[in-house]
Structure 1
């Protein structure tokens, strides 16, 4: 059943659409037919073919087409979503089913994967934070020179235009920032803040301070464990979603060298006898096998941006992947690359629920129960202000393990260091196990300090808390279906397979209780899992029964690491064993950063575009 807040936001979105408030949405309503090509208009060849018109695909396609002497084709399975509601803050929690792939994992768990132009930036929660410097230094430590914090920070800046919060709001809620240290001022994606916050968020933030969690002046400047305010991917003037389509695609639609083809699936990458990528085969969406297939050639390079779910699938269908998986699907093996589809990571999430018996006013419940407050809220929104400018929220704690469990973290770290690869999926080979062992050593160092977080707790004045496991040790897989390589891939989250993940979450539940107990002004009473659930064993059972596998941050299935430890791409993002083919999306991450992944994807795609341009100069 939908939460009351979600029901409210759905009603507000519907009211907006029905009221006809479409002013300020010209990019969604005008000239769309002139911007797209159909199958009849596809040229025989392009200099660059970008597979996937999601978030990273639009960034890379737009940047490559800045060179008007180069032709660029972006192929996207989904379509443009022209509903004005996609730009509303309420869209941060309401995802149209038509913009998602319809599939489940092996454990019959729902999967959130975007099937729409703009990809995950179209249907995410709009929270626009970053990991700590250590999260990206971890990438570089896996033998990826240039991919540490210092190497990627310029691209975080390049992709953004930052606008500080309203002066009165900043003063009231003590919101701080440092534009020079962290932000750009003329990038395609806008980062800004709502005009209103629930006063309960101040109490919750102070409670984190009271239990010893540092307040971070600027959560996007690479600082470590702490609590901070973060902006949304939202324009400051109209408070509308800022995403890959409006930031990168719409401004580039007048370029005659830049084509977008929607409603088509890329079946395979084609290679010549020297294993050089020469083109792709395309099939119309919904077509039967062999129906509506065409081939387009690439003169310079093919860039896979089909996401964590489909980039490994396209590679595997093309004969690049684990030999055992390809043999089972009867795909001829061109390159035995065990890491394709392995190393799958996401931020799993558990819930705790409290009731505030002495809540402050106004509070989120007032939107549902207080007609006077509802009327005021609606009047404020006419000027794009007030509670309806809030998406998911803008305050969060990303906390290191020693801050979470000062007395028990060393035992957890020791257990992790002693592990071999016994908790990985059976399909992992000796090569991919080596990769996990290298990651284990890096993560163990992270867990022993407070330079980055292992848990994220967003909060916005409500009693419910979502606690996201930011550095999982469990690993999943994405593989072809043996009986039909064109079916959606077999997806296994392998949720909580590593017992250290459960140990960390048990410590997190105890930590969250300490945090709630510090919110004395609100008089919190625990509803779930319940105050009677006290032992480690009982908490572990509640976590295992209730934890969700995903916060739609899937990644790492075509990892940037050395080939001999399960890597799929080198530090220049070219695929091992072939030429003319690279990966430019979230699947190239070797380790998931402790953050919502949206802003990181913009940065890595911007860097990918520069790498591609440099090798074809």
Structure 2
């Protein structure tokens, strides 16, 4: 019976769909026809030369495309390896489908995988990434969470006083993040039920990306912040204003007009009027940059791409700049295949080294997570899954429900009086860690690790910034019906990994080795976070819905050695890879400077989450939107002698009207297909996607 309900619900939730063969204009919806006028190329025909060629049509790539093409005198091309997403629009648009009918594991997912991890029970972990216009913003869990001011300021300080370092400090990034945002307060019933607090002054209200809250909230969410308050993790009334610690209900990238996902395509591209200077080519995998010597540096003269593995390679010329926005995996992958990267990786493959940059693919970091799973009664489960909510059955509002209750406990919350000793132990291990844990033997990469390590241990660790993230998982678990979870995720790892190529074929996936839990401090912090998750399930008022602990179970795991033995067998990624093209001084193994330009090149920049030098206590989507907005401004100023010209094709306010998703009327009732609540309640964690770039 459960399987039948699940199949029926998924079938309904995926309608209406366009067949891949029916993408001719006469078959397209009104919204899809607008996409054609907004620059998406369906026939493969593009010009031979563009001022800016953007590699990757994900989060940052589409922000750049929209902002740079505001200047009518500038031509812009986006090359995206994935499809448009037109054929799976409702799976993208319906927020709940991120959990119940995910695109992960399909052709819309790169389906990356790590090498076996010795400290994680020798397991290979999946690293899904969106392979579609919009990238991971089209498939992720919709969390819009900002880092704290201190983390941005540390990022700026790591640049060693280089020109432009202030562009990445809190004040500048706060402005850029708000520029991308169109915030809407929760409706009264949702705000009351979830005990939601926010500060309107910390949000932007005129940007393209809708940030809001679901149209329906599970009643148990209202117990979240009160329960954390009881254990000493205080509620936050302003989590987006630079103090992103404590407990709160996060905003999500939801358009409140029709309760659909707001992602980089729907926000920055679909609303645009016709722009003859913008072309977005899907199904175009970039294979390499074509480089030439340019004085003391090298210059990208063209970009090579192919429709698929085995297809004829084509090239498009670059007049001004090549902008890499392939993400933490794609950008270093393209750089290395182009001859920019560690010589010891490129030479054995016979790839000519144009720029020896040892840091490309190094400094790789991720958020590693685990969860404690609880059981609840069938009666409570019915309430949890909304079937008792007035008018919930089959409603658009219910289908907008996603996980959003979150908390960031700091090191004192985790370790209490032991925190100063823990900090001392970490600092005492710096020399050993830099000698044994850095995958590269290059002295500059090691110096960069030391610089970040010191910043984390001396500045971030003793502050109020969260060291672990706690998430309230109410959308099902692999333990079946009548269950929920509390997830704990490590936020500032001291372990380091690497990413590199071992083939000259750019269609071969890179080798991904995150080096999980190679530093003992990471295990300790994650273990203490999971302990806190267990305590939450035992604390009033959240304990009122708990009937037992299913995993790991009090009878099996209690002592620290028991936690440490269990934890490696169940942890997985929180889907936040970053830092593989770090913005750091060249002497510290950096790949890009504060202008985002790749060292040793005159016209190649990297603009995506790979440039962060360290992980944040946050999901990566909001800071990457801020990064892309900042980069677009920087590039336009560079090419216009310090000024940003007035928009040549449209005004900012006209560019980003309210989006209506699948609905052509903007009516909430018409936006999404109906799905029975009872069916959704039975969908376990088979397709849970917590990606949030």
TM-score, structure 1 normalization: 0.91
Query: For the residues of structure 2 that align with 1:396 and 1:530, how far apart are their CA atoms?
Result: 23
Q: Following TM superposition, by how much is the alpha carbon of 1:287 offset from its aligned partner in structure 2, in angstroms?
A: 3.3
Question: Contact between 1:400 and 1:447, CA under 8 Å: does it hold in 2?
Answer: no
In the other structure, the counterpart of 1:531 is 554
Cα 1:343–1:320, aligned 2, differ >3 Å: closer, same or farther? same
* Cα shift readout 1:464-516 (whole Å, capped 9, x = no counterpart): 11111111111111111146454111111211111110111122222223222
Q: Following TM superposition, by how much is the alpha carbon of 1:271 offset from its aligned partner in structure 2, in angstroms?
A: 2.0
* Cα shift readout 1:550-570 (whole Å, capped 9, x = no counterpart): 222111111111011011001
Question: Contact between 1:358 and 1:523, CA under 8 Å: does it hold in 2?
Answer: no
2:97 to 91, 96, 114: 91
Further displaced range: 594-603 or 91-100 = 91-100
Cα 1:53–1:360, aligned 2, differ >3 Å: closer, same or farther? same
In the other structure, the counterpart of 1:513 is 534
Question: Contact between 1:328 and 1:482, CA under 8 Å: does it hold in 2?
Answer: no
Question: Contact between 1:140 and 1:146, CA under 8 Å: does it hold in 2?
Answer: yes
1:149 corresponds to 2:173: no
1:306 to 326, 334, 340: 326
2:358 to 312, 320, 338: 338
Question: Contact between 1:555 and 1:588, CA under 8 Å: does it hold in 2?
Answer: yes
Question: Contact between 1:13 and 1:88, CA under 8 Å: does it hold in 2?
Answer: no
In the other structure, the counterpart of 2:673 is none
Q: Following TM superposition, by how much is the alpha carbon of 1:272 offset from its aligned partner in structure 2, in angstroms?
A: 2.0
In the other structure, the counterpart of 2:647 is none
1:280 corresponds to 2:302: yes
Question: Contact between 1:64 and 1:72, CA under 8 Å: does it hold in 2?
Answer: yes
Query: For the residues of structure 2 that align with 1:7 and 1:245, how far apart are their CA atoms?
Result: 34
In the other structure, the counterpart of 2:145 is 129
Query: For the residues of structure 1 that align with 2:108 and 2:622, how far apart are their CA atoms?
Result: 20
In the other structure, the counterpart of 2:247 is 227
Question: Contact between 1:344 and 1:475, CA under 8 Å: does it hold in 2?
Answer: yes
Question: Contact between 1:556 and 1:590, CA under 8 Å: does it hold in 2?
Answer: yes
Question: Contact between 1:265 and 1:283, CA under 8 Å: does it hold in 2?
Answer: yes
Q: Show the 5 A alignment for 1:153-302.
A: 153-180=174-201, 182-252=202-272, 254-274=274-294, 275-288=297-310, 291-302=311-322
Q: Following TM superposition, by how much is the alpha carbon of 1:130 offset from its aligned partner in structure 2, in angstroms?
A: 0.9
Question: Contact between 2:287 and 2:306, CA under 8 Å: does it hold in 1?
Answer: no
Query: For the residues of structure 1 that align with 2:345 and 2:571, how far apart are their CA atoms?
Result: 29
Cα 1:524–1:501, aligned 2, differ >3 Å: closer, same or farther? farther
Q: Following TM superposition, by how much is the alpha carbon of 1:198 offset from its aligned partner in structure 2, in angstroms?
A: 1.8
1:389 to 400, 408, 430: 400
1:567 corresponds to 2:571: no
Cα 1:446–1:483, aligned 2, differ >3 Å: closer, same or farther? same
Cα 1:487–1:366, aligned 2, differ >3 Å: closer, same or farther? same
Cα 1:130–1:79, aligned 2, differ >3 Å: closer, same or farther? same
Q: Show the 5 A alignment for 1:496-511.
A: 496-511=517-532
In the other structure, the counterpart of 2:115 is 106
Q: Show the 5 A alignment for 1:304-453.
A: 304-356=324-376, 360=380, 363-364=383-384, 367=387, 373=388, 376-379=391-394, 381=395, 384-385=396-397, 387-391=398-402, 393-419=403-429, 420=431, 421-446=434-459, 448-453=461-466
In the other structure, the counterpart of 1:370 is none
Q: Following TM superposition, by how much is the alpha carbon of 1:48 offset from its aligned partner in structure 2, in angstroms?
A: 0.6
Further displaced range: 51-60 or 91-100 = 91-100
In the other structure, the counterpart of 1:41 is 45
Q: Following TM superposition, by how much is the alpha carbon of 1:374 offset from its aligned partner in structure 2, in angstroms?
A: 8.6
Three-state SS of the structure 2 residue aligned to 1:48 is strand
Three-state SS of the structure 1 residue aligned to 2:300 is strand
1:489 corresponds to 2:498: no
Three-state SS of the structure 1 residue aligned to 2:126 is coil
Three-state SS of the structure 1 residue aligned to 2:205 is coil
Cα 1:614–1:323, aligned 2, differ >3 Å: closer, same or farther? same
Question: Contact between 1:344 and 1:476, CA under 8 Å: does it hold in 2?
Answer: yes
Further displaced range: 324-333 or 52-61 = 324-333
Query: For the residues of structure 2 that align with 1:427 and 1:417, how far apart are their CA atoms?
Result: 21
Cα 1:140–1:18, aligned 2, differ >3 Å: closer, same or farther? closer
Further displaced range: 291-300 or 490-499 = 291-300
Question: Contact between 1:402 and 1:447, CA under 8 Å: does it hold in 2?
Answer: no
Question: Contact between 2:328 and 2:580, CA under 8 Å: does it hold in 1?
Answer: yes
Three-state SS of the structure 2 residue aligned to 1:464 is strand
Question: Contact between 2:366 and 2:577, CA under 8 Å: does it hold in 1?
Answer: yes
Question: Contact between 2:439 and 2:496, CA under 8 Å: does it hold in 1?
Answer: no
1:614 corresponds to 2:637: yes
Three-state SS of the structure 1 residue aligned to 2:437 is coil
Question: Contact between 1:342 and 1:432, CA under 8 Å: does it hold in 2?
Answer: yes
In the other structure, the counterpart of 1:542 is 566
Cα 1:465–1:150, aligned 2, differ >3 Å: closer, same or farther? same
Cα 1:569–1:10, aligned 2, differ >3 Å: closer, same or farther? farther
Query: For the residues of structure 2 that align with 1:19 and 1:608, how far apart are their CA atoms?
Result: 37
Query: For the residues of structure 2 that align with 1:167 and 1:458, how far apart are their CA atoms?
Result: 23
Cα 1:38–1:395, aligned 2, differ >3 Å: closer, same or farther? closer
Three-state SS of the structure 1 residue aligned to 2:383 is coil
Which ranges of structure 2 fall in alignment gaps of 5 or more residues? Answer: 19-27, 117-123, 160-164, 475-482, 641-693
Three-state SS of the structure 1 residue aligned to 2:524 is helix
Cα 1:447–1:7, aligned 2, differ >3 Å: closer, same or farther? farther
Three-state SS of the structure 2 residue aligned to 1:251 is coil
Further displaced range: 426-435 or 125-134 = 426-435
